[in-house]
Amino acid sequence: MAETLNTHTSPSGFRPIPSYLRWIAFGVAILMFALAAAIYIGFTRVVVGEHENSVKWLPIAASDICYYRSYAYTAFEFNISEDEFLKWMKSNEWDKPAEPPAIGRYSKIESPVTIGRYTAGPQFKPKPGDPLEHTAKKGYVFERLFKEGKDEGIRVVYDAEIGRAFYTWKPSESK
C-alpha cells in the first residue's frame, strides 16, 4: 500500500497556522501595544495652566485660574467670592460629613492652614521665588483624607483675606 502525504501538516507533524489567524494575532498585538501606550500616557501626562480666565471643570465665577493636573498630583487655585465658593462646596457635597473609611472635616479656619500649590507638582518647574505652599488664616477648610496623618486625598482651602481658593488631590499610595 502506498503512503499518502498529508498536505495539511508540516514535516514535523504540526499543522501550520492559517494566515488569517496570523493577521488576527498581529492585530491583537498592535491593539495591546496601543492600549499600553494610552495607559502610560494617561498616568504620566501633565497639564499645566497659569492665569486662565476659565476652565470647564470650575465654576463660572472662578477667575485667574492656575493648575497642575496629573494622575499623581492635582492642584489648582483661583479667585472667587466667598458666596460663590460656598455654592461650589455644596455642589460637590463637600459640606457633608465624610463616609468611613475616609476621614474628613469641613469648617471655618480657626488657626492657620497650609496647603500645597499647583507649583508643587512633581514635574512643574517653578520660577525662582514661587512658593510651593499657601497659608490661610481666615476662610474655610475641607479635607477628605484616605488615612489619618497622611496627605492623601482632597484638601480645599478658601483664603477669605485674598478671595482665593486652593485645591489639592493626591491618590492613596497604599490600600
Other beta carbons within 10 Å of 103 = 15
Residue length of the chain: 175
**pLDDT of the chain, 175 residues: tens digit per residue:** 555 555 555 566 677 778 888 888 888 888 887 776 666 655 667 888 899 999 998 999 999 999 998 888 899 999 999 999 999 999 988 777 766 666 677 889 999 999 989 887 777 777 788 888 999 999 999 988 766 666 678 889 999 999 999 999 887 664 4
**Cα gap 71→43, rounded to integer Å:** 5
**Cα gap 91→93, rounded to integer Å:** 5
Task: Assess contact for 77 and 162: CB atoms under 8 A.
Answer: no
**Cα gap 60→17, rounded to integer Å:** 60
The CA–CA distances, whole Å, from 29 to 20, 98, 141 equal: 14, 44, 49
Alpha helices (H) in 70-174, listed in sequence order: 82-91
